[in-house]
Structure 1
């Protein structure tokens, strides 16, 4: 092609250079020092910054709720979020927010507030074709996203005892113990202790845990299993997936979901297929039917109080699950009892042996930290619940009895306050009306006395004087 017009040739080359620079910025697998970018106002979902060499994964800005942003890694064929930079507060999707690399990868704004930083002194940012985001120094990796997982683990990503896998809603997380994988729930802000609702202990069939040889770690194998290891080749435990040892050309992930379950998936090339569930039964999930819900195996949900319809998806106001019973303001509650119920994860709950149901209830009643208790008349086990009541499981055994405290909701308090104010205003209105009637009657009586005084009837005090003397003076003054 030959250019006959120098001006159009110049425009063409400028356009081509701009287009190529945009393509390179979207497909680059490195970011160097001095890189800076701000959110693009025209982008409605995802603004890519960095892509791996196979174009399967991309680091970029995800637009959240129209006005906020998150720095994430996406699986491009499915737009599945695999990693997110954890910030204390959400940055805004505006030109005042910037993502930069100055040795550290940083999210900040023009007011010098730093939302998130890798706190490194590296040379470049690199996205591997495993989705692992890395900060490289001159001859080493200074930081990598595989060391800071959010809610998802990838194939061959080591999960150590120093890491936590958190659900997107922040209610549930996975951690490793000395010899087990545990799932935990953050049911209470006040107790300071989270509830363990699932525990898988290492079977130690192929290898034993050796004390003093280091902590265990978990890893998702491309062969289709979740293994636990301790610095040895042979796993100390294997949890097989449905596709165990089957050829799978796609990717595998392990994710803690917002319902608290731990699930495994594999990518078929067009969709993610469920391959594993740590908790296969719906009623065994930590809060399958929500607070104060009752789960019926194979039948769905209802409410513990038998009065509230579950069609709304809620059995108690969320206000009933805030606060505690140790403060004077929140100490008022009503009692709810229910037969034929048990906790979905009672194997992980602490219990005490007690002689009677009354003793179990009294122990909970006397403790301001206790939200409820479940008692078995057969075994004498009393399970104390020191967090807001979640879902219970319906069982065909009336010897298992639940005792639950239900806080007076803030809504009820507001109604009570409103009624009180209304009553005060009503009483005030009655008093004002009564006083007005008294004044009106007095004036009427005076007027009558004044009229009768002109007819020769003795008047009342000064009104008689006013009628006989002063009134003529007023008339004279008006005439003037």
Structure 2
């Protein structure tokens, strides 16, 4: 640590570049370029991050055991120079970073252990496992007399949160953020970003609700209903191309480096905040080259549940009595039902408290259904009488009423007071955290007083009991002076002698 602290920024950068090159050479020299039948590997308990198992011909990518949550693992493809995860296997559950866990190839590439069974498998009958220099992991069948092996399974058909250059993204695929909240999917003539939220509650479909969409402009070619599904490809020229066939794109979503040559590979990733971002490798780091959502307040939940995002300023809470913190404005889920419906639901026995606020709007109204109503009161009433409604946002100038059939996430704060919202909040949501902390503190203080009183009472009881058992533990002399117990007589006599001598 002292060595690193004593380095200048230039020397520190050179050190990390040297370390990356050294690590890459070490990985390339010590890991195989293919798996054949009979291959087996177990996690090494001495490794703290990832354990390389298979590398491509250039040494840029490695199939590895990736350590998760200290004592668990997943199977992943790593970009060696940056340690970035490009792909992870979709396990039924995370395996343990311990000896029983094993990756083996017997025609299928299988991750399992003898106690828990199979975590993941390709379910193939292949001859070898190979990793391409584009990070595509393949199980291949090698037929005698055939120069090119046939591909039985490939990781490019099962992306996780990342697409790399020249990788097709089809309607059968989904990109999912590492936290599982956000996804990217294809529609008939668009690709969109979806928020799964609380298990897709109120979204109307398993895909979740859409919060961003890029529709094909169809400038050079039209999307035809009888020509099959569209697909998306990240091109080396710096754009996401939307195609229905392999000839002319129906749309181009350009990056900052569009039509400009770059030194390294490209990739896009759906981030944990719900944004879709594009990068290219410049030899030492990933350079941000594209953002689907440009403004923070346009993200699906930048300030968390019941949060209010102020453009260029930060976050607050919909309820003014609540202080915003990094944890957001809503307390952790207490295990209560996530909907507001119930057998006893009616307006006289609400399972929520209502909150009205001016100067709020939704960030993606162009993707939402609305009803035309003459007043905010009518819009609010429509939500209050519906147990599947969590809130409503109304624009006075247009009369548009947006009904929110999902748990409230972040809204955007605006100066226009004619934009109003009504929101249902469970008991506890929106309480001032300082008030909660004060209540907890008072409770603890009262508890401590009770405990102290009990201890004093018990001590007094024991003292009186001993007094009764011993008889007189002290006496009053003729002058009315109290004489203490025997063990104090020595000290008392000594003090009496001192007084007499004085």
Q: TM-score, normalised by structure 2?
A: 0.75
Distance 1:354-1:23 versus aligned 2 partners, 3 A rule: closer
**1:258 maps to 2:277:** no
CA deviation map 1:81-137 (0-9, x unaligned) = 000001121111111111111111111111251111111111111000000000101
For the residue of structure 2 that corresponds to 1:317, the secondary structure is: coil
**1:299 equivalenced with 2:303 (yes/no):** no
Q: Quote how far apart the aligned CAs of 1:306 are.
A: 1.3
Q: CA deviation at 1:231?
A: 0.9
For the residue of structure 2 that corresponds to 1:48, the secondary structure is: strand
Distance 1:69 1:329 in 2: 46
1:25 Cα offset (Å):
8.2
2:363 corresponds to 1:344:
yes
Answer yes or no: is the 8 Å Cα contact 2:359–2:416 preserved in 1.
Answer: yes
The one of 166, 173, 176 equivalent to 1:163 is: 173
Alignment partner of 1:28 is 2:47:
no
Report the equivalent of 1:19. none
Query: Post-superposition shift, 1:23?
Result: 7.2
**One of 154, 162, 173 as aligned partner of 1:152:** 162
Q: 2:70 matched to 1:66?
A: yes
Alpha-carbon shift at residue 232 of structure 1 (Å): 3.1
| Greater radius of gyration (CA) | 1
User: How many positions carry a matched residue from both structures?
Assistant: 397
Give a deviation string over 1:16-49, Cα, whole Å, max 9, x none. Answer: xxxxxx9788432210111111111111111111
Distance 1:24 1:358, change over 3 A: closer
Partner Cα distance (1:251, 1:23) in 2: 20
Match of 1:104 in 2: 108
Q: Please, which of 324, 328, 348 is the counterpart of residue 339 of structure 2?
A: 324
Offset of 1:327 from its aligned partner? 3.4
Distance 2:244 2:94 in 1: 38
Structure 1 residues without counterparts, runs of 5 or longer? 1-21, 427-480
Tell me how far apart the structure 2 counterparts of residues 24 and 229 of structure 1 sit (CA, whole Å): 37
Native 8 Å contact 2:304 2:329 kept in 1 = yes
Alignment equivalent of 1:126, drawn from 116, 130, 134: 130
TM superposition shift of 1:234? 1.5
Give the Cα separation in 2 of the matches to 1:62 and 1:377. Answer: 53
The 1:219/1:312 distance shift into structure 2, 3 A limit, reads closer
2:220 to 201, 206, 217: 206
Separation in 2, partners of 1:210, 1:150: 29
Unmatched segments (≥5 aa) in structure 2: 1-25, 143-148, 448-502
Pairing 1:172–2:187 present: no
Change (3 A) 1:246 1:23: closer
Is 1:115–2:116 an aligned residue pair?
Answer: no
Find 1:219's aligned residue among 233, 244, 247: 233
User: TM-score normalised to the size of structure 1?
Assistant: 0.79
| 2:250 equivalent in structure 1 | 236
CA contact (8 A) 1:27 1:55 kept: no
Which residue of 409, 418, 433 maps to 1:390?
A: 409
Deviation of 1:266 after TM superposition, in Å, equals 0.5
Partner of 1:11: none
| Cα 1:155/1:368, change in 2 over 3 Å | same
For residues 246 and 299 of structure 2, the distance between their equivalents in structure 1, rounded to whole angstroms, comes to 33
Q: Indicate the RMSD between aligned Cα atoms, in angstroms.
A: 2.4
Deviation at 1:316, TM superposition (A): 1.3
CA contact (8 A) 2:181 2:196 kept: yes
- Listed one character per residue, the Cα deviations across residues 121-174 of structure 1 (whole Å, up to 9, x for unaligned) are 111110000000001013410010000000000000000011000000000000
